[in-house]
């Protein structure tokens, strides 16, 4: 019997709960394809799955991670449009495909939506079986580790800026943590849309890397009062959009940084989710607070075409062997990575 290795969380806790286990090589069910995984992209979501989230139940045991790239090596019955030997990117969101949301192209709103590695088994394995709808051609100009950096963060940033905030050319956007996976994606997408980007980052080295994405202005939030800097850079007018994903530590300042009629769009709360909001500011300044989770498979396919055209680029810090998954989680939590972290089986 053929065996594969995978990273499994059986109970929440520290790095020691990232277990390297062996399982039988999976067989694709009807409508599925099997991908021999060449690279596994890590996200902060992986650390939440490992540590646990108060009030949220993960279906443990769980194979971790949402992103990956590899080669299709087996097809289930009834699969069309994909063939063995195809180099593919794994799309991280799984939906039913038949409900109204799915058929309207907003499959992230499907009642049966799952994120790989969060509510169903993920990509941190030497081989995975996923629905055929969840693979797309790998951009030819990307390596497998680079391709594994794209899915979750670029899809999230695209949905936030393009669909929810409707960012337009000529507007100014503030992107928090511009060197994080989703932050770096947001800086590039905002530039693609013709917006002017102000970003924050912690420390001189990170600020310099964000400038190269590029961002119009980068604020070192460790050394400066970023709210005051935003007001100064915008002539006290504020920004049109704030790209939020840090939560409690920044949210009040994000609202203060908005121009009249401005929008704050948020996909996460890595520093905590309990925030105070002054409704007076919200209605006096006609502010909008928008939530966003993931995005559609169709949008991710469009994003991958932009990578193929060289108009977007991944920001890869380094690739580590699968057995060093604990070290990768440590780097994510300590925010020492200068870009995305990838595991190679």
What's the predicted TM-score (pTM) here?
0.96
- Are residues 229 and 107 part of one domain? no
Provide block-wise average pLDDT over 10 residues at a time, the chain (345 residues).
Answer: 95 97 97 98 96 93 98 96 97 96 96 97 98 97 97 98 98 97 97 98 95 97 96 97 95 96 95 90 96 97 97 96 97 93 97
User: Is position 306 within any domain?
Assistant: no
User: Is position 144 within any domain?
Assistant: yes
- Are residues 190 and 143 part of one domain? no
pLDDT of residue 113: 97
The CATH number linked to 335 is: 3.90.180.10
Tokens coding 323: 């057995």
User: Is position 298 within any domain?
Assistant: no
pLDDT of residue 55: 87
- Are residues 115 and 22 part of one domain? yes
Question: What number of H helices and E strands is found in the chain?
Answer: 11, 18
- Are residues 325 and 230 part of one domain? no
Element holding 3 (H helix, E strand) = strand 3-9
Residues 6 or more apart whose Cβ sits within 8 Å of residue 207: 201, 218, 219, 220
Domain that residue 180 falls in? 154-291
User: Is position 296 within any domain?
Assistant: no
Q: What's the total number of domains in the chain? A: 2
Cα-based distances in Å from 71 to 64, 86, 100, 129: 19, 6, 32, 12
Cα-based distances in Å from 231 to 45, 211, 262, 322: 32, 19, 14, 45
């Amino acid at each position: 019997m053929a065996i594969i290795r995978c990273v499994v969380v059986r109970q929440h806790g520290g790095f020691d709960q990232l277990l390297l286990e062996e399982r039988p090589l999976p067989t694709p069910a009807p409508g599925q394809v099997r991908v021999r995984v060449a690279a596994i992209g890590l996200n902060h979501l992986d650390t939440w799955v490992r540590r646990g989230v108060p009030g949220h139940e993960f279906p443990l045991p769980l194979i971790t991670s949402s992103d990956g790239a590899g080669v299709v090596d087996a097809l289930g019955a009834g699969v069309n449009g994909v063939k063995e030997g195809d180099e593919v990117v794994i799309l991280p969101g799984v939906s039913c495909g038949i409900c109204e949301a799915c058929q309207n192209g907003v499959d992230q709103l499907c009642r049966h939506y799952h994120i790989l590695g969060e509510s169903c088994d993920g990509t941190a394995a030497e081989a995975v079986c996923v629905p055929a709808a969840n693979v797309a051609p790998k951009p030819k100009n990307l390596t497998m580790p680079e391709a594994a950096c794209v899915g979750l963060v670029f899809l999230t940033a695209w949905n936030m800026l393009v669909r929810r905030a409707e960012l337009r050319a000529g507007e100014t956007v503030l992107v928090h943590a511009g060197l994080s996976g989703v932050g770096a994606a947001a800086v590039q997408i905002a530039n693609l849309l013709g917006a002017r980007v102000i970003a924050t980052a912690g420390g001189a080295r990170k600020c310099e890397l964000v400038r190269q994405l590029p961002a119009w202005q980068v604020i070192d939030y460790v050394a400066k009062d970023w709210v005051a800097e935003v007001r100064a850079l915008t002539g006290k007018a504020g920004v049109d959009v704030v790209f939020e994903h840090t939560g409690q530590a920044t949210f009040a300042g994000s609202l203060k940084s908005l121009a009249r009629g401005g929008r704050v769009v948020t996909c996460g709360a890595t520093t905590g989710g309990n925030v105070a909001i002054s409704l007076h500011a919200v209605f006096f300044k006609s502010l909008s607070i928008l939530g966003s989770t993931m995005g559609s498979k169709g949008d991710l396919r469009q994003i991958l075409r932009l990578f193929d055209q060289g108009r977007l680029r991944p920001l890869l810090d380094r690739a580590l062997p699968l057995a060093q998954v604990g070290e990768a989680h440590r780097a994510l939590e300590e925010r020492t990575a200068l870009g995305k972290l990838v595991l190679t089986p």
